[in-house]
Chains A and B, each alone.
Chain A
């Protein structure tokens, strides 16, 4: 059943038309949740009793950091699917995820560094989370570099899938080792979530932002996938007919 679903979605033409219908929905709900999340996060949620107003950058930083991990896992899973069942569309998901994932990782790093300035007094601290995030960015960049270096794009997609799988096995080990390294060298710096429970008025906007970012990711992957399909299938009849219709 699931396999049949994948195979149907794996047909480029079918995927193209379904994705085309889904993108506007993703985009509008992304914009709505973004505005709601930002409004509640920046204006409604109370100021933090320790960090004052500066903690509000969390509403970008934390969901971006979550996305950076989430996208990597999605990428590895689609990599596995495309290696095992050789489905074209999951190959497209792998590579379009890599660039979006790298952007979110960079966003998490940049906001983390901005946040660090008022908290620690410097732009960069070798804090466990930031370091792990930096290494994740390197993993993403490796995937992008490998993909652009291989000329045959189907081969590139399969090579990148293996790399994503190797990465996903290693990420927990990297995280664990960075935690270990950090507790030894810098005992108990301020972690961002030392409070066991967050107030609901702070948590809800955070979750809304997380959903918003996921919708954005969905929209971007669908758009990139459509572009990739047209590019790859440009010699087929249905793409040429579609282009002729557009031109008229």
Chain B
């Protein structure tokens, strides 16, 4: 098997998923809209107290990002499972983990990246100082791919189940805790003006680790779900 045909299979699948997302582009804004709405609910629930809103801001944005990621996860393999495409992937002459990685990347580009784009707007809504916004953006660009990668294992394990959605959240949310902790901590540290290299390098390490391990675990899980 030449590496050339492997990379072309990777890009073919990536392109396929992006084209599919584009043909249903009306659905593209939904995770972003959900992210904004959940964040907007918090000040309404907490009360109009600028100090308090500022204090909970980073946590609120990240919890909302977690929920938005969780909500969009189900679509990662669902339609491919329903129409039989997933079986064909399993029977591909290429390693399934590479194909899975292409699908996760496409999914993140469609559902994770939009969160990154609207984040500055939400930061303004929650009184997060402008000096901390770059750090917030950095945590999102490092953290949301980890959410997609870890989540892919959970989706792969639940894709064949009729009521997979609730179980998926039980499986995945505890595993999201480290990302939540280090990301919000980075933003809080940035607000008081202390360097955040430690938190950001831990987030990068988590990204690298999950990039290596998650596709394999997802491929193995898909094989089990389809058997």
Contacts and interface: CB of A to CB of B under 8 A. Distances in A.
Asked if A and B touch directly (CB within 8 angstroms), the answer is yes
A180 B182 contact: yes
Interface in B190-227: 206, 213, 217, 220-221, 224-225, 227
Interface string A153-184: 00100110011011101100110111011001
Interface string A130-169: 0000010011011001100110000100110011011101
Contact of B220 (A142, A146, A162, A170): A162
Interface of B: 150, 153, 157-158, 160-161, 163-164, 167, 170-171, 173-175, 177-178, 181-182, 185, 206, 213, 217, 220-221, 224-225, 227
Nearest to A148: B167
A141 B220 CA distance: 22
Contacts of B185: 180-181, 184
A180 B181 contact: yes
26 contacts: A83-B220, A142-B171, A145-B171, A146-B157, A146-B167, A149-B158, A149-B163, A149-B164, A150-B160, A158-B224, A159-B224, A162-B153, A162-B157, A162-B221, A163-B157, A166-B150, A166-B153, A166-B217, A167-B175, A174-B177, A177-B181, A180-B182, A180-B185, A181-B181, A181-B185, A184-B185
Interface residues of A, number: 28
Nearest to A150: B161
Contacts of A135: 174, 177
Interface of B is mostly: helix
A173 B206 contact: yes
The 6 closest A-B CB pairs, nearest first, are: A177-B178, A138-B174, A177-B181, A142-B171, A181-B181, A142-B170
B217 A165 contact: yes
